[in-house]
Structure 1
Amino acid sequence: MADEKANKTSPAEFFRQVQGEARKVVWPSWEETVRTAIFVFIMMLILTLFFLGIDSLFSTVVRTLLTIA
C-alpha cells in the first residue's frame, strides 16, 4: 500500500510526461503515408479475392453434398 502512494504522480506531472512523450513521436512523411495506403488497398483486394474464392468453393461443395443426400 505504501508503494502505491509513493508511485502516484500529480495530474500536472502526468500531463508534463505526456507532452514529453508526444514530442518524441516521429510522424510519417506524406510519401510514406500514401505508399502505405496503396499497399493496404492492394492487400485488401488480394485478400478479398482469396476469401471470395474460398467461399465460392465451399458453397459449391456444400451444394453438391446437399444434392447427393
Structure 2
Amino acid sequence: MAKTSPAQFVRQVRQEVAKVTWPTRRETAVTTVTVLVMVFIAALFFFVVDQALSFGVRQILGLGG
C-alpha cells in the first residue's frame, strides 16, 4: 500500500467532509427529544417488569409481607 503524504491526507479528509450532510438544528432537536422520550419509556417498562418479577419471586419464596 502506497504511503500518503500529510498534504494529500488533508485534501482527502476535506473532500470526505464536504460529502457529509449535516442535520439542521430542527432535525437535531427532534431527534434528541425522540431519544429522550424513548429512554423514558424504556426505563418505565423495565421498572414495571422489575417490580412484577420482584413481587413474583417474593410470593414464591414466601417473603411477601
TM-score after normalising by structure 1: 0.77
1:10: how far off? Answer: 2.2
Show structure 1 runs of 4+ deviating over 6 A. Answer: none
2:16 alignment partner in structure 1: 21
Query: Which residue number in structure 2 is paired with residue 39 of structure 1?
Result: 34
Higher relative contact order (CA 8 A, sep 6+): 2
Which residue does the alignment assign to 1:51?
Answer: 46
Q: What are structure 1's unaligned runs of at least 5 residues?
A: none
Name the SS of the counterpart of 2:4 in structure 1: coil
Task: Look up the match of 2:56.
Answer: 61
Number of aligned residue pairs = 63
CA distance in 2, matches of 1:15, 1:50: 47
The two structures, once aligned, show a CA RMSD in angstroms of 1.5
Report the Cα offset of residue 66 of structure 1: 1.6
SS in 1 for 2:62: helix
Equivalence map 1:3-22=2 (5 Å): 4=1, 7-22=2-17
Q: Which runs of 5+ in 2 are unaligned?
A: none
